[in-house]
Amino acid sequence: MAKYAIEDVVPHDHPMILIDSIQSYAETTAVCQVKITESVNFYDKQLNGVPAYVGVEYMAQSIAAFANANERDQGKEVALGFLVSSRKYKASEPVFKLGEELTVNVERLYKEDNGLSVFDCQILVGEQVRVDATINVFQPDEPEAFIKEQTK
């Protein structure tokens, strides 16, 4: 069991925090949970669930939870990061169905000195892999300065 509430490690406010909890994390991995209910963001009554493409954000927020839990362990503040791209996003089904409990596994494959990292990610329902992807993220040393620079 992880020692942080999801609100303490994902730099969003409700209702845009889409994952329910961080279950565990280590130096290069994390496991997060999402339960599909009628009250979750992006629930579609016609689909009776959430479109599978929302899984990209489940993965991105799980990466944020991983990074920030490790940062907090070192006495640092929660920091912003940026989803750069997703490669090879493959979903075996188009919808996460009502009542399903998703397990989001993220594993950092490498991290560059400039803040760019690559993660191998999976979303499982039970033992079945429903989504598989490689996610690239960028976490600059000074995110606020980076944002200001990009908006000039």
On whether the CB atoms of residues 108 and 119 are closer than 8 A, the answer is yes
Strands (E), the chain: 21-25, 29-35, 49-51, 82-91, 95-97, 101-111, 116-125, 128-138
Please say if the pLDDT value at position 148 is more than 80: no
Q: Percent of the chain beyond pLDDT 70?
A: 95
Confidence of residue 142 (pLDDT cuts 50, 70, 90): confident
Q: Across residues 58-83, what is the average pLDDT?
A: 94
User: 96 by DSSP, 3-state: which?
Assistant: strand
The pTM (predicted TM-score) of the whole model is 0.93
Q: Would you state the pLDDT for residue 150?
A: 73
Instruction: Set out the domains of the chain in order of their start, with CATH numbers.
Output: 6-150 (3.10.129.10)
Q: How far apart, in whole angstroms, are the C-alpha atoms of residue 14 and residue 11?
A: 10
pLDDT recorded at residue 147: 64
Query: So what's the pLDDT on residue 140?
Result: 78
Q: What does the pLDDT read at residue 116?
A: 94
What are the pLDDT digits (tens) for 80-138? 899 999 989 999 999 999 999 999 999 999 999 998 999 999 999 999 999 999 999 99
pLDDT band at 66 (very low <50, low <70, confident <90, very high): very high
